[in-house]
Structure 1
Amino acid sequence: MLQVITQLIGGIGLFLLGMSLMTDSLKAMAGESLRQWLSRFTGSSFKAMLSGIGFTLVVQSSTATTLATIGFVSAGVLTFAQAIGVVIGANIGTTSTGWMVALLGLKFSIASFALPMIGVGALMKLLGKDRLALLGLAFAGFGLIFFGIDVLQLAMASFAERVDLSVWSNNSFSTRLILVLVGLVMTILLQSSSAAVTATLAALASQAIDVQQAMALVIGQNIGTVATAILAAIGATTSAKRTAAVHVIFNVVTAVFAFFILMPAMLWMLTHWAWAATWDNTIIIAAFHTAFSLMGAMIFMPFIPQLQSVISKLIPEKEVETIRYLDESLFSMPSLAIATAQDSICHCLADMYRLLIKAGRGEIIGAMINTKELDHVLLKVDEYLKKMPVPQAQADQQRLIELMRLIVYTRVVREDLQHTANLDILRAHFDTEDLKEFIGIIEKLVLYFRQTPVQKIPVQDVENLERFSAQIKIHQPAIRQNIVAQSATSQVKAADALDLIIAQRWLERLAKHTAKMAILLKEDTSTI
C-alpha cells in the first residue's frame, strides 16, 4: 500500500510540475501580446468569454487567466463587465484539460513518447535563448504532464485492487454530498483543479471509482478551484477581490445546478439511452465537466450588468486611483506587472503636470503644488518592484530596464516639481512666451499619460519638446543679460532679478528633464 501511495504522490507531483512549467513558459511567451489581444477582442461580454476560453486553452490554467484579468481590470484595459466574461470563459476553457487526458493521456501508452519530449525540451532550454528556451520548458512540461498521467494510472489500478470503494457508489444524497466535499478538498490540497480532475479520470479509467462517483468528485473539484482565487484576493486590490468574487459566485452557483439538475439528467440519460451507454466513461466525465461550465455560462451571461452592479456595491473601491493598479498577483505575468507599474507612475505624473499647467495659467498658485502624492506612488512602486521576481523573457527584461529608467527620470522631475513657486515669479514679472509654449506642449503629453493603458507619445510631439528644450537653452544667455540690464536701470530690483534668473533656469531644467522622459515613452523606442 505504501508503494501505491508513493506512486500516487509522485504521479500528481509530476503532473503539477509539468503544468507549472508549461503554464509559466507559455505565459512568459505571451507577454505584452496578451494585453493587446484581450484589449482588442473583448468589446462585448460574449467576445470577452471567447477570449477567456482561448487564453485558457493556450496556457492550460484558468488561474493564470483569472490573475491576468485582475491586472487588466486594475489597469483599465478591461472593464469589470468584460472581466466577468473572461472569468466565465476561463472556467469553460479549463475543462480542456479533462478532454486532453481522456482522449490522449488515458487512451495511449505515451510514457515512451513523454520521456523523449522531456529530454528535447531540456536541451532546448539549456542550448536556446529567450523564446526558444521558453518553448523548451513548455515542451518539457507537456512531457511531464503525460508521464505523470501514466504513473497516476498505474497507481490507481493498484489502488483499485486494494481498496473497495463500492460503499460510496450508492445513489443517496448524503453519499453524493460527501464525494463533492472530497473533490473540494482534493483541489484545495493540490492547488490545481486540473490535477484533481486528472486524478479522478485516472481512477475512473482504472475502475477504482464509477461514473456517478466521478461526477460528484468533479463538481467538488470545480468548487475547490475558487480557493486559489480567494487566497490571491486576500490583502489584494479591490479589482482582485471583485474578480475573485465573480469566480466564487460562478463556480458555487454552477455547482449547485450541476448537482441537482445536470448530474441526475446525465445519469438518467446513460441509463435510458442505449447509444449514450456505449460512450467511454472518461469521455462522459470530460463531457460532463464541459457541460456544467457551459450551463453556468448560459445562466450568468444574460445577467452580467446586474452581477457587476451587485459586486461593485458589495466591494467598493477604496484604493487611491494611481496605485490601485499594483497587484502582486500579476507577478506571474511580468509584462503585466511592469505595465501596471508604468501606468501608476504616468498617471500620477499626469496629475502633477495638470497642476503645473493651471499654475502656469494663473488658475492656482504654483507654491501650493506639492509632491506628496508622487512621493507616495514612487515609494509604492519601489516596494512593488522589490517583490517582483526577475522575468525570464528577454523582452520583459528590456521592459523592466525601461521602467527603471522611467523611475530615474521621474525622480529627477520630482525634484524640479518641488520648486513650482518659480512659476509665480515668471508670471509676476513678465509674460514669458517660453512659459506659454511649454504649457502648450505639456498639455499634449498629459493626454497620453492619462489614457488607460498609457499610450506611447507620438514622435512629432516628442520632437517638439526636444526642440523647445534646446531652444530655451540657447536663449538663456540673452534672457539673463536682459534681466541684468533691467536690474541695472532699476526696472527690476536686484533680489527680484536673481529670483527671475533662478526661475528661468528652473524652467530650462524642467523642460530638459521632461524631454528625456518623453523620449523614453515615445512610439519608436528602438533608438533610445
Structure 2
Amino acid sequence: MIHLLNLLAAIALLVWGTHIVRTGMLRVLGENLRRVLALSFGNRLRGVVAGIGVTSIVQSSTATCLIVASFVGKNLVTTTAALAVMLGADVGTSLMAVVFSLDLSWLSPLLIFVGVVVFISRQNSGAGAIGRVLIGLGLITLALQLIVGATRPLVEAPAVRGLLVALPNEVALDVVVGAALTVMAYSSLAIVLLIATLASSGVLTIDVALGLVLGANIGSGILALLATANAAPEVRRLPVGNMIFKIAGTLLAVMVLPQARSLLQQLLPVVHQQVVFFHLGFNLALAILFIGFTGLVGRSVDRWLRARGSNVDSLRPRHLDPLALTMPSLAISCAAREALHQADVVETMMRGIIPVIRNNDLQLSSQLRKLDDTVDELYSAIKFYLTQISGEALSEEESRRWTDIVSFTINMEQIGDIIERVLQDIEDKKVRKNRSFSEAGMAEICHLHERLLANLRLGMSVFLDGHVRDAKRLLEEKAHFRDLEHEYAANHISRLRDNTAQSIETSSLHLDLISDLKRINSHICSIAYPILESAGALTKTRIRQSQLAGLGGE
C-alpha cells in the first residue's frame, strides 16, 4: 500500500511541477507570448515555429490552443492560420518531453536550491518568477526519479505482474486509457513522461506504452474541446479542427504501429527514449502531413460552426473571454475592455440627464434608471472575472493594472447609483410637480453637465492610456469643478433673495443636483490617483492641489 501511495504522490508532484513552470513562464513573459502569437499568423510556417516556441515555454499545448482560439473568436485570425500554430504547439510539448527524458538527476537538487534562493530573495520581481520556474523544473526531474523508485517494488510484486500479463494487447483500449489519464491530469506532457518512466521500469510493455502515448495526444485535444464547450461557435473552430488532425493522425499511426516500434527499437536501445521519441515523431509527422490541409480543414470547420446572429443584447458582458484566463495578460486586456464598456453605459445614463430635465421625459428617465442594473451587472461580472485570473502568474505591472481595473469599475458603479438617484429626484421634485428651473439655473446645470461629460471622457482616456499628464489634468478638474459648484450655489442663493419664483420652487432639487454632479466628478477624478501613484507624482500633486483649493477630500 505504501508503494502505491508513494507512486501517486510522485505523479502528483510531476503534474504540480509542470503547473509551476507554466504559471512561472506566463508571469515572466506575459504580454510577450501574446505578441509572438499575434505576429505569427502571416504564414503557416511562421505559425508552426511560433507554436513550437510558445508551447515549449508554457509547457501546455492546451493553453496555447485556448489563447489562439480566443483570437479566432474575435476574428483577429483565420482558423487556417490558427491550425498551423496548433500543429507547432503539439511539436513543442513533445520536444519538452524529450528534454525531460534526459538524465537530469544531478540537475534536480541544483535547480531546486537555486530556484528557492532566487524566489525568496527576489519574490516580487521578475527574478523571483524565474526562480519559480527553476523550482518547477527541479520538481519535474525529482518526480521522475521518485516514480522510478516507487514503481520498482510494484513491478516485483507477483500480483501486479500477473495483472500486466493478463492485460489484452488492444491498441484501442490503450488509446482510450491514455486519453482519460490526460484529461484527469490536465497535462499530456506529464502523462507522456509518466508512461515513459513506467515503460522503462517494466510496468508497461512498449506496445501498451505507444498506444497510451497516442491516447495522450487525443486527450490533449479533448481538454481543449471541454474548455470551449460553452463558448461561441467561432471559438470552438480551432479545437475541433485540431482534434480532426489528431484523430486522423492517430488512425494512421495505429496502422503503422508495428513498423514504428521496430524502427524505434533499432535506433534507440533505451525504452524510455523510444516512448518520448515516438511522441515527438508522431507530432512532427502530423505537422508535416497536415500543414497543407490547414486551409481545407479550416474552411470546413468555419462552415460547420457558423457565428451566431447578432441579436445578443449589446449591454451584456461581451469582452470577458473565459478562454483568455489561461493567459493572464490577455485576460487583463479583456477585463479592461469590459470596464470601458461599463463606462460607455454610464456615459449613456449621464447624457440623458439634460433631455429628461428639459423635456420632462418620464419614459426616458425610466429607461436610463434601468441602465443602472446593467452597470451593476457589468461590475459584478468584471469583478468575478478578475478573481479567476491566477495572481501567481501576474507580473508586477499586470498586478497594478488589475488593481486599476477594480478601482475604475467601482467608481463607475457608484456613478451609476448616483445618476439613478438624480433621475428619481428629477421625476419626483420636478416632472411630476410640473416645475421648471430658472433660465440662469438651467444654464448653470447644463454647464456643469458639459464639464462632467468632458471629464468622463478624459477619465476613460486616462484609464486606457495611463498618461501622467492627462491624469494631472483630470485631478486639476476636481478643483475647477468645486469652484463652479460653490459659485453656482451662491448664484442660486442670490436668486432666492431676489424672490425668483422658479428658483424658489426648485431650490432643494437645484442644490442637490449640483452637489450630486460634484460627487460624480469626484469619482471620475479618482481614476487619476492610481496612475499618479504608480508614477510617483501623487504626493506632489496632492500638495499642489491643497495649496490651490484644499482638495484633500471631495
The structure 1 residue matched to 2:92, chosen from 69, 92, 96, is 96
Q: Which residue of 2 aligns with 1:14?
A: 13
**Closer/same/farther in 2, CA of residues 275 and 178 from structure 1, 3 Å limit:** closer
Please tell me whether residue 292 in structure 1 is matched to residue 286 in structure 2: yes
The structure 1 residue matched to 2:513, chosen from 500, 503, 506, is 503
The answer to whether the 8 A contact 1:367-1:420 is kept is: no
Q: Which residue of 2 aligns with 1:145?
A: 140
The answer to whether the 8 A contact 1:180-1:221 is kept is: yes
Please tell me whether residue 221 in structure 1 is matched to residue 213 in structure 2: no
**Closer/same/farther in 2, CA of residues 319 and 125 from structure 1, 3 Å limit:** farther
Read off the aligned partner of 2:215 and give its amino acid letter: G
The structure 1 residue matched to 2:195, chosen from 196, 200, 204, is 200
Instruction: List aligned pairs for 1:458-469, cutoff 5 A.
Output: 458-459=467-468, 461-469=470-478
Q: Which residue of 2 aligns with 1:402?
A: 404
Q: Which residue of 2 aligns with 1:259?
A: 250
Report deviation, 1:132: 3.0
Partners of 2:264 and 2:59 in 1: how far apart?
31
Partners of 1:318 and 1:286 in 2: how far apart?
44
**Closer/same/farther in 2, CA of residues 97 and 260 from structure 1, 3 Å limit:** closer
The count of aligned residue pairs is 507
**Closer/same/farther in 2, CA of residues 270 and 226 from structure 1, 3 Å limit:** closer
> Quick check: 401-410 or 136-145, which moved more?
401-410
Partners of 1:192 and 1:275 in 2: how far apart?
25
**Closer/same/farther in 2, CA of residues 490 and 333 from structure 1, 3 Å limit:** same
Instruction: List aligned pairs for 1:443-462, cutoff 5 A.
Output: 443=457, 455-456=464-465, 458-459=467-468, 461-462=470-471
Read off the aligned partner of 1:517 and give its amino acid letter: I
Partners of 2:287 and 2:148 in 1: how far apart?
26
Please tell me whether residue 514 in structure 1 is matched to residue 514 in structure 2: no
Partners of 2:78 and 2:517 in 1: how far apart?
44
Partners of 1:169 and 1:15 in 2: how far apart?
28
CA-to-aligned-CA distance 1:434-480 (integer Å, 9 cap, x gap): 4445445545666x59xxxx832555554554444432322334333
Report deviation, 1:5: 5.1
Partners of 1:290 and 1:49 in 2: how far apart?
11
Partners of 1:193 and 1:315 in 2: how far apart?
36
Report deviation, 1:346: 2.4
CA-to-aligned-CA distance 1:3-51 (integer Å, 9 cap, x gap): 8756654543332222122122222333444455545655777766654
Gaps of 5+ in 2: 539-554
The structure 1 residue matched to 2:338, chosen from 340, 344, 349, is 344
The answer to whether the 8 A contact 1:14-1:144 is kept is: yes
> Quick check: 124-133 or 437-446, which moved more?
437-446
> Quick check: 483-492 or 161-170, which moved more?
161-170
Please tell me whether residue 24 in structure 1 is matched to residue 15 in structure 2: no
Please tell me whether residue 483 in structure 1 is matched to residue 485 in structure 2: no
Instruction: List aligned pairs for 1:26-45, cutoff 5 A.
Output: 26-35=25-34, 37-39=36-38
Instruction: List aligned pairs for 1:236-247, cutoff 5 A.
Output: 238-239=231-232, 243=235, 246-247=238-239
Q: Which residue of 2 aligns with 1:375?
A: 376
Partners of 2:417 and 2:89 in 1: how far apart?
49
Report deviation, 1:60: 0.7
**Closer/same/farther in 2, CA of residues 187 and 514 from structure 1, 3 Å limit:** same
Please tell me whether residue 127 in structure 1 is matched to residue 121 in structure 2: yes
CA-to-aligned-CA distance 1:303-330 (integer Å, 9 cap, x gap): 4355245324479996866424446666
> 2:400 aligns to what SS in structure 1?
helix
> 2:464 aligns to what SS in structure 1?
coil
Report deviation, 1:169: 9.5
**Closer/same/farther in 2, CA of residues 246 and 471 from structure 1, 3 Å limit:** same
**Closer/same/farther in 2, CA of residues 347 and 294 from structure 1, 3 Å limit:** farther
The structure 1 residue matched to 2:75, chosen from 72, 76, 79, is 79
CA-to-aligned-CA distance 1:148-181 (integer Å, 9 cap, x gap): 33344566777778469788897xxxx3322222
TM-score w.r.t. length of structure 2: 0.74
**Closer/same/farther in 2, CA of residues 123 and 275 from structure 1, 3 Å limit:** closer
Read off the aligned partner of 2:520 and give its amino acid letter: L
The answer to whether the 8 A contact 2:345-2:375 is kept is: no
Report deviation, 1:94: 4.0
> 1:79 aligns to what SS in structure 2?
coil
> Quick check: 144-153 or 461-470, which moved more?
461-470
TM-score w.r.t. length of structure 1: 0.77
Read off the aligned partner of 1:401 and give its amino acid letter: T
The answer to whether the 8 A contact 1:125-1:134 is kept is: yes
**Closer/same/farther in 2, CA of residues 509 and 495 from structure 1, 3 Å limit:** same
Q: Which residue of 1 aligns with 2:482?
A: 473
Q: Which residue of 2 aligns with 1:357?
A: 351
> 1:92 aligns to what SS in structure 2?
helix
Read off the aligned partner of 1:61 and give its amino acid letter: S
**Closer/same/farther in 2, CA of residues 499 and 334 from structure 1, 3 Å limit:** same
Q: Which residue of 1 aligns with 2:183?
A: 188
The answer to whether the 8 A contact 1:157-1:203 is kept is: no
The answer to whether the 8 A contact 2:10-2:146 is kept is: yes
CA-to-aligned-CA distance 1:340-396 (integer Å, 9 cap, x gap): 334323211112203433555789956342211101222333444566665475614
Report deviation, 1:268: 5.1
Partners of 1:163 and 1:182 in 2: how far apart?
19
Partners of 2:533 and 2:475 in 1: how far apart?
15
Report deviation, 1:417: 2.0
Read off the aligned partner of 2:365 and give its amino acid letter: A
**Closer/same/farther in 2, CA of residues 143 and 85 from structure 1, 3 Å limit:** farther
The answer to whether the 8 A contact 1:211-1:285 is kept is: no
Partners of 1:69 and 1:367 in 2: how far apart?
43
Read off the aligned partner of 1:147 and give its amino acid letter: L
Partners of 1:182 and 1:265 in 2: how far apart?
20
Q: Which residue of 1 aligns with 2:544?
A: none
Please tell me whether residue 494 in structure 1 is matched to residue 488 in structure 2: no
> 2:115 aligns to what SS in structure 1?
helix
Q: Which residue of 2 aligns with 1:60?
A: 59
Report deviation, 1:259: 3.2
Instruction: List aligned pairs for 1:260-339, cutoff 5 A.
Output: 260-264=251-255, 277-278=266-267, 281-282=274-275, 283-293=277-287, 295-313=289-307, 322-326=316-320, 333-339=327-333
Partners of 1:343 and 1:297 in 2: how far apart?
34
Read off the aligned partner of 2:280 and give its amino acid letter: A
Gaps of 5+ in 1: none
Report deviation, 1:522: 8.4
The answer to whether the 8 A contact 1:413-1:513 is kept is: yes
